[in-house]
Amino acid sequence: MNLDLFSSVIKDGNVATHISDQAWHLEGFATALEIQLRDLLRSIIKQAPFRQMKTPGGQLMSVKMTNCGEVGWVSDHLGYRYQTLDPVSNLPWPAMPEEFKSLAKNAAATAGFENFKPDACLINLYPVGTRLSLHQDKDEIDFDQPIVSVSLGLPVTFVFGGLERSSPQTKIKLHHGDVVVWGGKSRLAFHGVLPLEAGEHELFSHYRVNLTFRKAI
Ligand code: SIN
Ligand code: FE2
């Protein structure tokens, strides 16, 4: 089925809403897995704790990050890149759990991207007040593969633009369990999140957690 023909469709009981060319918001797609995801995240962060990375310009990023998968996204004075070792421990990143892989693969397929095989999962922890400014995901080798982004915990406003920083933007409220998938013509779309508003979530307390699945290498 070509989902781009519809603005909103029901697929496997989930509402899929069209954001832009080949970009979809899958409401509640991950909700049924919430306990497993929370428990798997707990064991990942025991091995590779959240840390604040520095931008290449030396600024401390407010969002805390870690990774699982064959490679992890890192930032420091040398630049943005993917690497196989966690720079804090010098050990490989924790393996990507099968449950993460199948969630990402299923979400990608629902949005029209078959055979997505993520090798990197960036895990962002947003304390209240933190944001992620407008950027493109372009540190990956293969732009034919989509981005799959899973939201957990407190809700946030996601900003999705176009291929230019100045392109018109769509603002979408992302709730716990929502998944956004973008690829193809939207693969290099600018996106970001507005500052996290205070709240309390029964599984993630005062935080929002975002899992970004990518085929990086
Ligand atoms: C990202 O763009 O890396 C994360 C976006 C989000 O937190 O929703
Ligand atoms: Fe991003």
Distance CA 81, CA 61 (A): 15
Per-residue pLDDT reduced to its tens digit, 133-144 = 999 999 999 899
Q: With a 6 A CB cut-off, is 210 part of the ligand 1 pocket?
A: yes
* From 175, 187, 212, mutation site for ligand 1 pocket: most ligand atoms within 8 A of C-beta: 212
Angle between helix 98-110 and 34-47 (nearest 10): 130
Query: For each of the chain's 217 residues, which pLDDT tens digit applies?
Result: 445 555 777 766 778 999 999 999 999 999 999 999 999 999 999 999 999 999 999 999 999 999 999 999 999 999 999 999 999 999 999 999 999 999 999 999 999 999 999 999 999 999 999 999 999 999 999 899 999 999 999 999 999 999 999 999 999 999 999 999 999 999 999 999 999 999 999 999 999 999 999 999 9
Predicted TM-score (pTM) of the model is 0.95
Distance CA 68, CA 90 (A): 14
Q: With a 6 A CB cut-off, is 130 part of the ligand 1 pocket?
A: no
Using alpha carbons, select from 43, 3, 203, 24 the residue that is nearest to residue 123.
Answer: 43
Q: With a 6 A CB cut-off, is 191 part of the ligand 1 pocket?
A: yes
For atom 7 of ligand 1, which residue has the closest CA? 210
Q: With a 6 A CB cut-off, is 67 part of the ligand 1 pocket?
A: no
SS3 call for 8: strand
The stretches of 48-163 forming alpha helices (DSSP H) are 98-110
Q: With a 6 A CB cut-off, is 124 part of the ligand 1 pocket?
A: yes
Return the ligand 1 atom nearest residue 151 CA: 8
For atom 6 of ligand 1, which residue has the closest CA? 210
Distance CA 118, CA 107 (A): 12
For atom 5 of ligand 1, which residue has the closest CA? 192
